[in-house]
Amino acid sequence: MYSGMIGKIDKAHRYAAERDRFQFEDLRVTIHGNNDDHAVTLTEGAWRCECDFFRHEETCAHTMALEVLLDGMVPMTQPVA
């Protein structure tokens, strides 16, 4: 491995340690739940999940888990109506 690549790897690790450098705008994640897989998306600052609970409450364990996981890296979101 050449020195230029070693420098880039070091820089990548520094960036990854500084969570405030990142802000996800759009995202699609599959969460493997206890009963089924659920597709969760973040689009234009709004969460969506295909689970039944989200359809009724506009939030769910799947979207909340991603908000915790990505704390500080996703914009403040509002539920989708």
DSSP 28-63: EEEEE-SSSEEEEEEETTEEEE-SHHHHHHS--HHH
Bridge partners for 62 per DSSP: none
**pLDDT tens, the chain, 81 aa long:** 788 899 999 999 999 999 889 888 889 999 998 889 999 999 988 999 999 999 999 999 999 999 999 888 887 655 544
The pLDDT assigned to 25 comes to 83
**Whole-number Å distance between alpha carbons of 22 and 16:** 9
The pLDDT assigned to 73 comes to 84
Q: What single DSSP character describes residue 78?
A: -
Sign of CA dihedral 19, 25, 30, 36: positive
Q: Where are the domains of the chain?
A: 23-81
The pLDDT assigned to 23 comes to 85
The pLDDT assigned to 56 comes to 95
pTM of the model: 0.76
Tokens of 38: 């659920």
